[in-house]
């Protein structure tokens, strides 16, 4: 910012001048230091920075940013509260439509959503909506100002929620406020779904998710962990146990594999297994008992999405000398968030673009030691609209590896559809549900990745909100 502008209340500047004020930069851990620890990378805005950033907002009469938000957060409304220093009230404003702002402020792809369509983007830099969202949500939590919502008189109705990811947690929070009794069944030993087992600590500290879970528990939500529905009890039995409705939010946690020779060698993991071992079983923590991972020195991750970036950056932090992404398209087609790619590059992650594995080679003890690859070029666009990678004949080469992580996407686990009568699924195994989450089975709703396939946190939470309203109407009609 120029000296001229320094010291002025930005809000007093005419909009034309205000637009030119650069976006506030969030302080971050130094790349050299952070590539060897699991602490969060961005440190968050200071209160002064948050107010300055909020003052850049033009408070548009027709706020384009809201069109880009899947749950229609009142973005100018909460930003205005920030300019007034009303940080907790700003968090409450967001929570009117999004129950998980501390999570979404950290992991939502804002550059494709609200920030991508902010009016300032055309000529200048967009308002840092995500950084402001994170700031106010952290402020509310750190100052113990989490608002205990009013809870409606008890309805006497019971709802079972299967899965405790963002979809399940959102449904739980909304239905308990509406006066229903809520029990969440979670297969793993900790609540939070991908937010705890998939996304690493350096992007989303587990304590933030735990605070949300604790808050729901305080409001009366009952959590039953290590409880696999479809094994311990199935959906039909939940109704026999007295539940009046069921919400299925079981995500898309079944890893896809490549079907390449040697894929079952030791040292080759699915990203789900690798990240779960590190995040949930604390493989990164030297003090944790029975650290369940072999720390590799030459780690290669196959894929180009958020899961691949999380895996490769985890590999580096677990002590790899070399951590490499191998991706069959180019950097432009990578589905990972730009911020994550940028952070990975800063940390020294290597990238092999336009490269695909065709064979894994093992040593005499069955451990992977090399990967044979082929180079690709981009051909015509495929059904996803992205240019199809085509192998270049004779371009084979080998790479030395000791750990390979396969991060090429997930599908839905068939356990619940298989054990539930009358529940329709589509050809990918996702549960079929209408836009309010209603399934073909009376009394059963579904939402999040189990319906859409792998998507985003905010879409899962948004689906949860819609389903909660529909379940409430249903329960009141019984
Ligand atoms: C590594 C990784 C990184 C990601 N990064 C981002 C990101 O940066 N930004 C973003 O927006 N999205 C990201 N995503 C996607 C996002 O996390 C998901 O879209 C979102 O978590 C889906 O929420 P959900 O509630 O539908 O399911 P999930 O979060 O998958 O939760 C489902 C829960 O159901 C439980 N469950 C499954 N079956 C059963 C059963 N039979 N009985 C009981 N419980 C069961 C599972 O154990 C799990 O805890 C990422 C995904 C991964 C894997
Ligand atoms: S479009 Fe941008 S400038 Fe306009 S209200 Fe939204 S965040 Fe503020």
Query: Tell me: the pLDDT tens digits for 451-478?
Result: 999 999 999 999 999 999 999 999 999 9
Which spans in 125-193 are helix H? 129-142, 166-177
Pocket of ligand 2 (CB under 6 A): 57-60, 63-65, 75-76, 118-120, 127, 129
pLDDT given at position 401: 98
Ligand 1 atom showing the smallest separation from residue 464 Cα: 25
In angstroms, the CA 131 to CA 114 distance is 12
**For residue range 18-63, what is the model confidence (pLDDT) as tens digits?**
888 889 999 999 999 999 999 999 999 999 999 999 999 999 999 9
Span 412-420, mean pLDDT?
94
pLDDT given at position 290: 64
Q: What share of the chain in percent tops pLDDT 90?
A: 84
pLDDT given at position 386: 81
- For ligand 2, the distance from its centroid to the CA atom of residue 77, given in whole angstroms, is 10
In angstroms, the CA 12 to CA 174 distance is 40
* Ligand minimally distant from the alpha carbon of residue 129: 2
Nearest CA to ligand 2 atom 4: 60
In angstroms, the CA 451 to CA 454 distance is 9
* Ligand minimally distant from the alpha carbon of residue 61: 2
Pocket of ligand 1 (CB under 6 A): 107-108, 162-168, 185-188, 193-194, 198-199, 228-230, 249-251, 253, 275, 306-307, 310, 337, 413, 415-416, 448-450, 454-458, 460
Sorted by sequence, the CB contacts under 8 Å of residue 210 that are 6+ apart come out as 192
- For ligand 2, the distance from its centroid to the CA atom of residue 115, given in whole angstroms, is 8
- For ligand 1, the distance from its centroid to the CA atom of residue 450, given in whole angstroms, is 9
* Ligand minimally distant from the alpha carbon of residue 446: 1
Q: Which of 95, 38, 253 is nearest to 162 (CA)?
A: 253
Token pair of 446 as six digits: 């579904």
Ligand 1 atom showing the smallest separation from residue 410 Cα: 53
Task: Give CA 440 to chain center in angstroms.
Answer: 28
Structure confidence at residue 270 as a pLDDT band (50, 70, 90): very high
- For ligand 1, the distance from its centroid to the CA atom of residue 455, given in whole angstroms, is 9
pLDDT given at position 10: 63
Structure confidence at residue 291 as a pLDDT band (50, 70, 90): low
Q: Is the pLDDT of residue 242 over 50?
A: yes
* Ligand minimally distant from the alpha carbon of residue 18: 2
In angstroms, the CA 368 to CA 366 distance is 7
Place of tokens 């981009």: 378
Q: Is the pLDDT of residue 189 over 50?
A: yes
Span 274-286, mean pLDDT?
84
Span 5-13, mean pLDDT?
56
Nearest CA to ligand 2 atom 2: 118
Structure confidence at residue 7 as a pLDDT band (50, 70, 90): very low
Q: Write down the mean pLDDT value for the chain.
A: 93
- For ligand 2, the distance from its centroid to the CA atom of residue 75, given in whole angstroms, is 7
Ligand 1 atom showing the smallest separation from residue 458 Cα: 11
Q: What is the DSSP letter of 127?
A: -
pLDDT given at position 18: 80
């Amino acid at each position: 910012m120029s000296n001229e502008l320094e010291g002025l209340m930005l809000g007093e500047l005419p909009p034309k001048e205000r637009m030119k004020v650069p976006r506030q930069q969030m302080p971050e851990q130094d790349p050299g230091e952070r590539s060897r620890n699991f602490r969060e990378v961005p440190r968050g805005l200071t209160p002064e920075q948050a107010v300055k950033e909020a003052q850049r907002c033009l408070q548009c009469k027709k706020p384009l940013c809201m069109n880009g938000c899947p749950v229609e957060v009142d973005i100018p409304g909460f930003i205005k509260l920030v300019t007034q220093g009303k940080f907790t009230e700003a968090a409450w404003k967001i929570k009117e439509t999004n129950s998980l702002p501390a999570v979404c402020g950290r992991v939502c792809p804002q550059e494709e959503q609200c920030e991508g369509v902010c009016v300032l983007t055309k000529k200048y830099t967009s308002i840092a909506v995500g950084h402001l969202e994170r700031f106010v949500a952290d402020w509310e939590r750190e100052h113990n100002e989490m608002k205990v919502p009013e809870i409606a008189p008890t309805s006497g109705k019971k709802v079972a929620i299967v899965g405790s990811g963002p979809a399940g947690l959102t449904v739980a929070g909304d239905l308990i406020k509406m006066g229903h009794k809520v029990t969440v069944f979670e297969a793993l030993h900790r609540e939070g779904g991908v937010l705890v087992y998939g996304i690493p600590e350096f992007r989303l500290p587990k304590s933030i998710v735990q605070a949300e879970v604790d808050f729901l528990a305080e409001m009366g939500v009952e959590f039953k962990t290590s409880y696999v529905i479809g094994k311990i009890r199935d959906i039909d039995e939940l109704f026999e146990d007295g539940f009046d409705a069921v919400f299925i939010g079981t995500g898309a946690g079944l890893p896809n594999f490549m079907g390449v020779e040697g894929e079952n060698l030791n040292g080759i993991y699915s990203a789900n297994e690798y990240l779960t071992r590190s995040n949930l079983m604390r493989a990164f923590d030297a003090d944790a008992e029975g650290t369940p991972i072999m720390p590799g020195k030459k780690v290669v991750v196959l894929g180009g999405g958020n899961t691949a970036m999380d895996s490769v950056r985890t590999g580096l932090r677990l002590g790899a000398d070399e951590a490499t992404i191998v991706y069959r398209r180019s950097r432009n087609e990578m589905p990972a968030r730009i911020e994550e790619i940028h952070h990975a590059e800063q940390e020294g992650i290597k990238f092999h673009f336009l490269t695909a594995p065709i064979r894994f080679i093992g040593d005499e003890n069955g451990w992977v030691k090399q990967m044979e690859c082929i180079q690709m070029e981009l051909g015509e666009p495929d059904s996803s609209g992205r240019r199809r990678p085509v192998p270049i004949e004779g371009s084979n080469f080998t790479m030395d590896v000791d750990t390979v992580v396969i991060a090429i996407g997930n599908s839905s686990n068939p356990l619940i559809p298989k054990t539930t009568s009358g529940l329709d699924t589509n050809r990918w195994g996702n549960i079929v549900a209408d836009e309010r989450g209603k399934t073909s089975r009376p009394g059963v709703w579904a939402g999040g990745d189990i319906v859409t396939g792998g998507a985003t946190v905010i879409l899962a939470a948004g689906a949860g909100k819609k389903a909660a309203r529909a379940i409430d109407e249903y329960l009141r009609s019984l």
